[in-house]
Chain A
Amino acid sequence: MPSEIMKVIQNQEVNFSDTNMMADETGSQYLSFVVGEEEFSVSILKVQEIRAWEKPTFLPNSPHYIKGVLNLRGTIVPVMDLRMRFKFKQNHYGATTVIIIFKNSKKEKESLMGCVVDGVSDVFNLEESFIRDIPEYGSDIDSRFTSGIMTVNNNAVTLLNLENLLDLNLINHPYSGGQVVNG
């Protein structure tokens, strides 16, 4: 039930931005970015902000793709390296490396997660009907993390499924969750 409501709300947000912000364009806005040698995109409404790369604070026993936590104006936000999450080989932190802070609403609780990408490329408009399904064949990237392919300037851009990508239950962190004794 809550997820349905959220969908409705999200759709309204999209409609709202359609009519006001982009009166001359159609579809929704997406942000694209580079991870490894590929381009990926997400709905821009899921992006809270983009930050320069800084080394986060290491979390004990974390899986290799969880780089740690950083201080986002007083709140503690985890950071995930998308290149490692997608099992890409290259792992270099350079001048264009940025952390995109995504917001993920789940059951009325909004959580934030920073994702390390190699660079931000573009913001563009696209109608939903232009999004194609991903052909099914073996890929390094877990199929749960992707939700479609779109063509932008003759390049294939993979649309990410942020709900799964940011789902904390899909992050296997030893010694986490459950019955934890704090003190």
Chain B
Amino acid sequence: MEIDLSQFHQVFYEESFEGLDTMEQELLNLEEDSDRENINTIFRAAHSIKGGSATFGFKEVADFTHVMETLLDEMREGLRPVTKEVVDLLLKSVDCLRGMLFRMRDGEDVGDEHVELINYFNELLANEIEDASQQENVFEQSVQESLKDNCEDKVWKIEFKPKSYILETGNEPLRMFRELKGFGHLEVDAHLDNVPCFDELKAESCHIWWSLTLDSEIDEAAVKEVFEWVEDDCELNIDQVPRSNDKNVDKDQLEQPQMEEISEDIKQISSETSGQKADQEEKKQTPLVELKNKKEKSEVGTNTASTASIRVGIEKVDTLIDLVGELVITQSMLSELGENFDMSKLTQLVSGLSELEQNTRELQESVMRIRMLPIGFVFNRLPRMVRDLSSQLGKKVQLDIKGESTELDKTVMEQIGDPLTHLVRNALDHGIESAEERISADKPEEGTLTLNAFHQGGNIVIEVSDDGKGIDPDVIYKKAIEKGLINDSFDTPPEQVLSLIMEPGFSTAEVVSDVSGRGVGMDVVKRNINNLGGSVEIESELGKGTTFTIRLPLTLAILDGQLIKVANETYVLPLVSIIESVPLNMAEISRIAGDMKVYKLHDDYIPIIDLKSEFEIQQDLSSSSEGLLAIVEGENRKIALRIDELLGQQQVVIKSLETHYKSLQGVSGATILGDGRVSLILDVVGLAKRASEGANRRNNKVA
């Protein structure tokens, strides 16, 4: 059977990138404690990439991972100590591999970045052999002269009975034997007792089974690993038996020719499998042609396939299927009801419709859940950065990650990466002091940077905290006045002073370093997070540390909205932003500073925005004096919106205005209501900004 491999390329790349991520993480853990399991994980990841790339014929990648694997193998065997040098080299290789795979995926040349690294690997490996212990030599030579070794008294006895379809799954026994041979002396016995007569012989099937004898010190897991890919497709018995010398000698003489014979067999089978010798048997020609056609079709399919995909847990899909099943039942119930409907069935209809609503909502929720991924995907790229950066800055930093399994929407996650990276960079550069400073401040030499994620209400909260020197509000205050961001005459509350560092053009770093301090950054962080509908809060205690708290909505696509009416227009206010609403005639409204209207809520005076005039809505009828004030809050700023009516509450699907138009300040997007009309979603923060900017404009005009 011929399989078009290119259709699997996408999967290969995805898995390889995942593997590389795993390797990176494990390599970073390797520094602290060299656990065998860590190395095994790295080894497995490298091995999968090697296997995959060899299967798909990406020779450069396969060769490169091979030398990596050799080095890792030595580490796994305990022959090579885990040193910073080696870890650095491996990390560099991970970067290099990632680059190679990226370039290959984009159809570019793989480049020669890896050649240098391969040489370096070889150098390192060769060095080791020269000054290595005897063991290494023994290991090397064991392939040729295993019989002369007598330190081992047990051998592995493997019975490998593959199912007949093993070759169709892309697994080739010859490769596995070759790999086993790498561990030590290998004897292979082929059993041909299951091979049918020639007429019934199928070239795609494997009728041979093997018994193997492996003379090596490796453990059972390693042997099993060779058969990892085929475990389910074969009968496998692995036993450790005492060495019987006579048998070995006997077998050894047989081994060479037999091995070759088998190679021949397999070669023939595999060459026939590849489908290139289509003319060998007449009766095969037709199916092969069909397969070729299929191949062409599937090529067309791959081209159109989207590049982005997510992995979804099977239980999520199962829930979805259950829900769809319920939906179908409800639907058929309703359509039956509709076929001969009379008023007596009204209650049935009502209950049916509410069931439908329930089903739809559940379905919607679980579809949304499919897009949810653990935040670990973002967190996991940070340890590497912290490691590199802290050594670059000469600081000692311990990174603590909590709540990696907290799930959030994929889109949110993609966009939170950069702001998060920035916050971590800032914490390392500005927050955590150098070791000397820390010791003199009576703190542990090693700084701690904590990343924490958890759910709170409908939000996900991400905290980035350090135990560094904290932010001095006085410095910020002075700097802000100096830069003209605030007016000296206002008394700014402390929490607002700190948030000034997120204003554009603000940087407190006395020296602009490579890492941060150019004054762009925090404002970008804030803007990115605001764009996601989230907020950032800063808490800081001088000398104790700083905590940035990012609050994000779980999903971007859906919002709990309150519909409001202004003149003839319907708008949506995010339900979370509404504090209260009061009838206009009962509201305590004062006029201050000339023409500015404010509403008194408890002890606060809140500016009132009349949406009708703010949005320049033209109304056909003269406005009634009736109306409401909706008090809304965003980013700790409260404003009162003068509106005409409160309508219902509903969940709305957020659509972007920017797809075909521009973004508008005060409007975060649009949605489509039940009647098919478009309604705009108001953005409280933007409106508050507009209000204050408007006030400034008016002031300037007066002045």
Establish whether residues B678 and A76, one from each chain, have CB atoms under 8 Å apart when the complex forms.
yes
Q: Quick one: closest A residue to B681, CB to CB?
A: A182
Which of A57, A77, A111, A173 has a CB less than 8 Å from the CB of B569? Answer: A57
Would you give the 0/1 interface string for B679-691, flagging 1 where the beta carbon is closer than 8 Å to chain A? 1100111100110
Taking CB atoms and an 8 Å cut-off, the chain A residues in 132-178 that contact chain B are 168, 171, 173, 175-177
Kindly state the interface size class of chain A when it binds its partner: 20 to 34
Establish whether residues B668 and A182, one from each chain, have CB atoms under 8 Å apart when the complex forms.
yes
CA gap between A171 and B535 in the complex, in Å: 31
Establish whether residues A180 and B686, one from each chain, have CB atoms under 8 Å apart when the complex forms.
yes
Interface check B435, CB cutoff 8 A: no
Establish whether residues A71 and B676, one from each chain, have CB atoms under 8 Å apart when the complex forms.
yes
Interface check B672, CB cutoff 8 A: yes
Q: Contacts A70-B678, A182-B531; is A60 near B616 (CB within 8 Å)? A: yes
Number of residues on chain B facing chain A (CB within 8 A)? 41
Which of A58, A76, A175 has a CB less than 8 Å from the CB of B661? Answer: A76
Taking CB atoms and an 8 Å cut-off, the chain A residues in 51-104 that contact chain B are 56-61, 68-71, 74-78
Q: Quick one: closest A residue to B529, CB to CB?
A: A183
Measured CB to CB, the closest approach of chain A to B509, in angstroms, equals 23
Q: Contacts A59-B664, A181-B530; is A71 near B659 (CB within 8 Å)? A: no
Establish whether residues A181 and B685, one from each chain, have CB atoms under 8 Å apart when the complex forms.
yes
> Can you identify 6 A-B contacts, CB atoms within 8 angstroms?
A57-B670, A57-B679, A68-B678, A70-B678, A76-B661, A175-B690
User: Which B residues are CB-close (under 8 A) to A75?
Assistant: 655, 659-660
Most buried by B among A77, A113, A181: A181
User: Which A residues are CB-close (under 8 A) to B535?
Assistant: 183
Interface check B262, CB cutoff 8 A: no
Interface check B527, CB cutoff 8 A: yes
Interface check A179, CB cutoff 8 A: yes
Measured CB to CB, the closest approach of chain A to B85, in angstroms, equals 45
Establish whether residues A60 and B615, one from each chain, have CB atoms under 8 Å apart when the complex forms.
yes
Taking CB atoms and an 8 Å cut-off, the chain B residues in 564-579 that contact chain A are 569
Establish whether residues A181 and B678, one from each chain, have CB atoms under 8 Å apart when the complex forms.
no
Interface check A112, CB cutoff 8 A: yes
User: Which B residues are CB-close (under 8 A) to A61?
Assistant: 615-616, 664
Measured CB to CB, the closest approach of chain B to A110, in angstroms, equals 9
Which of A71, A112, A175, A183 has a CB less than 8 Å from the CB of B634? Answer: A183
Q: Quick one: closest B residue to A169, CB to CB?
A: B662
Q: Quick one: closest A residue to B664, CB to CB?
A: A176
Q: Quick one: closest A residue to B673, CB to CB?
A: A71
User: Which A residues are CB-close (under 8 A) to B661?
Assistant: 59, 69, 76-78, 111, 168
Establish whether residues B666 and A60, one from each chain, have CB atoms under 8 Å apart when the complex forms.
yes
Interface check B665, CB cutoff 8 A: yes
The 6 A-B pairs of least Cβ separation, nearest first, read: A60-B615, A57-B678, A175-B665, A176-B662, A78-B661, A182-B668
Would you give the 0/1 interface string for A18-31, flagging 1 where the beta carbon is closer than 8 Å to chain B? 00000000000000
User: Which A residues are CB-close (under 8 A) to B685?
Assistant: 181-183
CA gap between A57 and B617 in the complex, in Å: 11
Taking CB atoms and an 8 Å cut-off, the chain A residues in 27-42 that contact chain B are none
Which of B527, B533, B614, B666 has a CB less than 8 Å from the CB of A179? Answer: B527
Establish whether residues A111 and B531, one from each chain, have CB atoms under 8 Å apart when the complex forms.
no
Query: 10 other contacts beyond A69-B657, A111-B661, with CB at 8 A cut-off?
Result: A57-B677, A60-B615, A60-B667, A76-B660, A111-B659, A112-B660, A181-B531, A182-B533, A183-B535, A183-B684
CA gap between A78 and B663 in the complex, in Å: 12
CA gap between A156 and B615 in the complex, in Å: 41
CA gap between A103 and B630 in the complex, in Å: 39
CA gap between A177 and B530 in the complex, in Å: 15
Establish whether residues A183 and B680, one from each chain, have CB atoms under 8 Å apart when the complex forms.
no
User: Which B residues are CB-close (under 8 A) to A112?
Assistant: 660
CA gap between A183 and B576 in the complex, in Å: 11
Which of B662, B679, B689 has a CB less than 8 Å from the CB of A173? Answer: B662
Establish whether residues A78 and B660, one from each chain, have CB atoms under 8 Å apart when the complex forms.
yes
Q: Contacts A58-B617, A61-B616, A183-B530; is A177 near B655 (CB within 8 Å)? A: no
Interface check B669, CB cutoff 8 A: yes
Establish whether residues B679 and A176, one from each chain, have CB atoms under 8 Å apart when the complex forms.
no
Measured CB to CB, the closest approach of chain A to B141, in angstroms, equals 60
CA gap between A111 and B658 in the complex, in Å: 10
Taking CB atoms and an 8 Å cut-off, the chain B residues in 626-657 that contact chain A are 634-635, 655-657
User: Which B residues are CB-close (under 8 A) to A179?
Assistant: 504, 527
Interface check B534, CB cutoff 8 A: yes
User: Which B residues are CB-close (under 8 A) to A180?
Assistant: 663-665, 686
Q: Quick one: closest B residue to A101, CB to CB?
A: B660
Establish whether residues B677 and A175, one from each chain, have CB atoms under 8 Å apart when the complex forms.
no
CA gap between A123 and B669 in the complex, in Å: 36
Would you give the 0/1 interface string for B56-97, flagging 1 where the beta carbon is closer than 8 Å to chain A? 000000000000000000000000000000000000000000
User: Which B residues are CB-close (under 8 A) to A76?
Assistant: 655-657, 659-661, 670, 678
CA gap between A122 and B67 in the complex, in Å: 70
User: Which B residues are CB-close (under 8 A) to A69?
Assistant: 657, 661, 670, 678
Which of A56, A58, A68, A181 has a CB less than 8 Å from the CB of B683? Answer: A181
Establish whether residues A182 and B678, one from each chain, have CB atoms under 8 Å apart when the complex forms.
no
Establish whether residues A77 and B663, one from each chain, have CB atoms under 8 Å apart when the complex forms.
no
Measured CB to CB, the closest approach of chain A to B394, in angstroms, equals 36
Establish whether residues A71 and B677, one from each chain, have CB atoms under 8 Å apart when the complex forms.
yes
User: Which B residues are CB-close (under 8 A) to A168?
Assistant: 661-662
Establish whether residues A181 and B527, one from each chain, have CB atoms under 8 Å apart when the complex forms.
yes
User: Which B residues are CB-close (under 8 A) to A58?
Assistant: 569, 615, 617
CA gap between A58 and B665 in the complex, in Å: 15
Establish whether residues A177 and B662, one from each chain, have CB atoms under 8 Å apart when the complex forms.
yes
Establish whether residues B666 and A71, one from each chain, have CB atoms under 8 Å apart when the complex forms.
no
Measured CB to CB, the closest approach of chain B to A63, in angstroms, equals 10
User: Which B residues are CB-close (under 8 A) to A113?
Assistant: 660
User: Which A residues are CB-close (under 8 A) to B663?
Assistant: 176-177, 180, 182
Establish whether residues B670 and A60, one from each chain, have CB atoms under 8 Å apart when the complex forms.
no
Measured CB to CB, the closest approach of chain B to A111, in angstroms, equals 5
Establish whether residues B677 and A183, one from each chain, have CB atoms under 8 Å apart when the complex forms.
no
User: Which A residues are CB-close (under 8 A) to B665?
Assistant: 175-176, 180-181
Measured CB to CB, the closest approach of chain A to B555, in angstroms, equals 14
Most buried by B among A175, A176, A179: A175
User: Which B residues are CB-close (under 8 A) to A171?
Assistant: 662
Establish whether residues A173 and B659, one from each chain, have CB atoms under 8 Å apart when the complex forms.
no
Measured CB to CB, the closest approach of chain B to A138, in angstroms, equals 30
Establish whether residues B683 and A77, one from each chain, have CB atoms under 8 Å apart when the complex forms.
no
Q: Quick one: closest A residue to B668, CB to CB?
A: A182
User: Which A residues are CB-close (under 8 A) to B670?
Assistant: 57, 69, 76
User: Which B residues are CB-close (under 8 A) to A177?
Assistant: 662-663
Establish whether residues A182 and B614, one from each chain, have CB atoms under 8 Å apart when the complex forms.
no
User: Which A residues are CB-close (under 8 A) to B531?
Assistant: 181-183
User: Which A residues are CB-close (under 8 A) to B690?
Assistant: 175
User: Which B residues are CB-close (under 8 A) to A78?
Assistant: 660-661
Q: Quick one: closest B residue to A61, CB to CB?
A: B616
Measured CB to CB, the closest approach of chain B to A153, in angstroms, equals 34
Q: Contacts A180-B665, A183-B530; is A56 near B678 (CB within 8 Å)? A: yes
